[in-house]
Structure 1
């Protein structure tokens, strides 16, 4: 009997083969008629087993992997003075280390039990999303000898969340968001300011954890809901050995699921901040390795040049993100992006690090200069009509761009305080389309 998953993968194989066999050079990046005629069946419709519906998803950020800017109250508990962030842990590793295991577990259990609940998943479905991407760290499954992390309960919460998603018709990507030793040095990996993911021992343990995830969430009991597993989030390609990443981590994981587990679960590879088409010759349809999706993340707030660009340039850049993937060999999805036009959100650049936008950025001797004030950034009553309009326009342009191919998963559904990074707040303030297909500014990527 042909399974739904097999049908889906066959469609995926057809699409990626079509793209390879018929690449079209796009002289005009805004020529949507050309793009759509080239890539007419460009979506992975996991419900109907055919191409026709983009992924329209949201990330469940700051839950099973802490990020200080998403839930600053957890980290503000460590504050000792009003003048600086001295003594505040910069990531989950140091959060647990400073508290000790028992107290860290008490606080985290409260966080895991309350930050996301079933009602959130019900609301996500009501808002029109069809998928959630759920980050989890390696330490949920296995610890290194000196790790301070709390381990174990996160897996139960993940399983519970998958059940909630199933209840409300949402699909799930399970995302290994933190690797042993950190794959990028970002606080979202669990451990900031170090990149030792590819050290042999660290790589071995991360691979063991990944195999556990692949084996569990590719089982039949999960596969109707879990339609993809991301092997590792945001490995920092420019700072690591890409050949080792591919040959010693990604390829063995693919081999494990296909040849050891004999499973057709879709696997997701983050682009490692490489240019478009970099991954075309890795696990490609030509090798009949076709259950692969490339995950691209897009932001315009992490360099002074991005922040200072004029608004029309930001829209053009967003539209080009959609064009860029059309000739890639693999199916692809924009697995992270946001509504942010500033980096003013507290700690979005890390605890103790200021904002480039207001000139207070103070990390790694990077140049920062004043673009504008961050005052009132989290108070919608202080936003001008122009800023509200630009935020809505920026969101819509990105949605239109990413729906040129596989779809999108916005980061993230909610934050404690940040307007620009919390989709629930964007929706509540009319800055995100409801229904999702509504456009106040249609055709931005077509003109």
Structure 2
């Protein structure tokens, strides 16, 4: 069904690192001018050269990275490896650069693999404030756009120098010119400068940064604190409601919800990977999209650099696709699937391929070859999309990404089907393509109704068997990209803004029929939504054992990524909160309970809480 994977492009390409460095060290032109001066007056030229060198070295004289004279032609043809022309031209939204395609005058294909495990000797620091441009230094065409660093809310660890250069049509502005791959997340894993090895032998232990660059109501309910009549249920409706205020609101969230300290804490917890969900509007917007265009892009790039600083490998995850791939709020727009299916399904499927064309050209640069371990193609496509069409799109996306020079293992979702469904599908890719499944017990009425001890046995027995079978005799490489400690669906907005919970019988398809193990009016969401300080000793023991049972089961495959690192008020969905409450193991790679151990006695822990 799927075409055989094509080998990576072997065409040599310019070194994009050199290209970036050149932007911030534009001294060659001055040297040429000085040689002309030398021809007129050698003595005078030598004096001028010495004076200029001293001023620049002492950071007294600052040099602009770009000027209007060197700005690339805005009408340069867009570089693209896709051939279908069904997708309409992306638009930028109000006040942004209208060309979201790749600029052939400045784009480098970045397919070279000459340094697969390079380690830079230094990491350049953020330019001093006095070196940052003023509004008048920004070309008029770019003032007020995402390229205008004078308008950025947060400059921490960004390079503030102006540049309009792009790779794959995506801006490099904000990147520092060097990087350091010497760090390791913990003593049990290799530094970024060395290969990870086999994920089958050393599984990933990671966490998602959910709700950061792709917002979700249950993770940050404060962003959705409007009267229900306003109809604000997802990022689409929120952005439309806020209008011109949307960019400032969301950038404040990007700048504050996840910080460098979070990456440090993730590494300190014994985790070694981070999955970073982001959505297509980080790259392009279309038609009447109200989404904030490309502001999240620079925060994604900074997040990758923070991960690098603490030795964490990255799994990129395209979480929201054009048209919505599953109709749920975390795709950006709740309602109906418009990806592959529907009147614009084919157009949106092509748009998604175009997004991957741009992304993969950008992330094929040398600076990303060590740190980006996994490249996610589409988060949770709806299971109503025909399998053959989804597999065909996945094969097309894989080829684009691989041909553009990305070395990372590509990841495709089981689309909420059983793992067995993918046996025999998308074969011939070896270890360069991995199947991603998301495991929860709270969205299925039968699993939700299991008692505490039964849930632990289910993880150790059923999930272990399913993962092992998928790896050995099913699709092949398999990982768990999402799971959580939550044992109920009680969290506010988890099932959507304004919806209730299956557990208590207040969800739309369980009205009046609680699905907790007792199945009666005792079923309560009070404890599940309480602060962990109110949890009983027995409940804490269950939660910690439940977490470790899942970890051990999922390590039978290529590893796991917990959903998620941080929430505003949902502790059973927050790895960070779990650590603070003592209901997560202190280190992800150390356990005080194994599936081979007896299930603990949880005393008089009620089954209805």
**Shorter-chain TM band:** 0.7 to 0.9
Q: Is the 8 A contact 1:218 1:265 kept in 2?
A: no
Q: CA deviation at 1:378?
A: 2.6
What is the match of residue 309 of structure 1? Answer: 450
Q: Is 1:204 aligned with 2:350?
A: yes
**Which of residues 586, 594, 597 is equivalent to 1:434?**
586
2:448 alignment partner, SS class: helix
CA 1:301–1:45 in structure 2 vs 1: closer, same or farther (change >3 Å)?
A: farther
Matches within 5 A, 1:150-299: 150-198=292-340, 199-237=345-383, 239-247=384-392, 249-258=393-402, 260-284=403-427, 287-299=428-440
Unaligned stretches of 5+ in structure 2? 1-112, 118-188, 517-522, 600-609
- Out of 365-374 and 403-412, give the one that drifted further: 365-374
Higher-RCO chain (CA-CA 8 Å, sequence separation at least 6): 1
1:420 alignment partner, SS class: helix
1:132 alignment partner, SS class: strand
C-alpha separation between the residues in 2 aligned to 1:273 and 1:44? 33
Q: Is the 8 A contact 1:137 1:177 kept in 2?
A: yes
What is the match of residue 357 of structure 1? Answer: 503
**Over the residues paired in the alignment, what is the CA RMSD in angstroms?**
2.3
Write out the 4+ residue segments of structure 1 that deviate beyond 6 Å after TM superposition. Answer: 43-46
Q: Is 1:64 aligned with 2:213?
A: yes
Q: Rg: which structure is higher?
A: 2
C-alpha separation between the residues in 2 aligned to 1:201 and 1:50? 39
Q: CA deviation at 1:300?
A: 0.5
C-alpha separation between the residues in 1 aligned to 2:493 and 2:339? 24
* Deviation readout 1:42-89 (Å, 9 max, x if unpaired): x9998544334220000000010010000011111x23xxxxx33251
TM-score by structure 1 length? 0.84
1:441 alignment partner, SS class: coil
**Which of residues 325, 330, 334 is equivalent to 2:476?**
330
Q: Is 1:374 aligned with 2:525?
A: yes
**Which of residues 75, 86, 95 is equivalent to 2:238?**
95
2:213 alignment partner, SS class: coil
Q: CA deviation at 1:325?
A: 2.3
C-alpha separation between the residues in 1 aligned to 2:541 and 2:553? 18
* Deviation readout 1:124-181 (Å, 9 max, x if unpaired): 1111110000001111111111111001111111000000000100000110001111
| Greater fraction of residues in helix | 1
Unaligned stretches of 5+ in structure 1? 6-42, 80-84
C-alpha separation between the residues in 2 aligned to 1:196 and 1:271? 18
C-alpha separation between the residues in 2 aligned to 1:185 and 1:365? 20
1:350 alignment partner, SS class: coil
Q: Is the 8 A contact 1:277 1:325 kept in 2?
A: no
Q: CA deviation at 1:200?
A: 1.3
Q: Is 1:136 aligned with 2:136?
A: no
Q: CA deviation at 1:312?
A: 2.6
Q: CA deviation at 1:384?
A: 2.4
* Deviation readout 1:363-396 (Å, 9 max, x if unpaired): x677842632111423223322222111111100
CA 1:49–1:61 in structure 2 vs 1: closer, same or farther (change >3 Å)?
A: closer
Q: Is the 8 A contact 2:425 2:475 kept in 1?
A: no
**Which of residues 40, 50, 53 is equivalent to 2:197?**
50
- Out of 129-138 and 302-311, give the one that drifted further: 302-311
Q: Number of residues paired by the alignment?
A: 397
What is the match of residue 37 of structure 1? Answer: none
What is the match of residue 575 of structure 2? Answer: 423
- Out of 126-135 and 207-216, give the one that drifted further: 207-216
TM-score by structure 2 length? 0.62
What is the match of residue 57 of structure 2? Answer: none
Q: Is the 8 A contact 1:4 1:49 kept in 2?
A: no
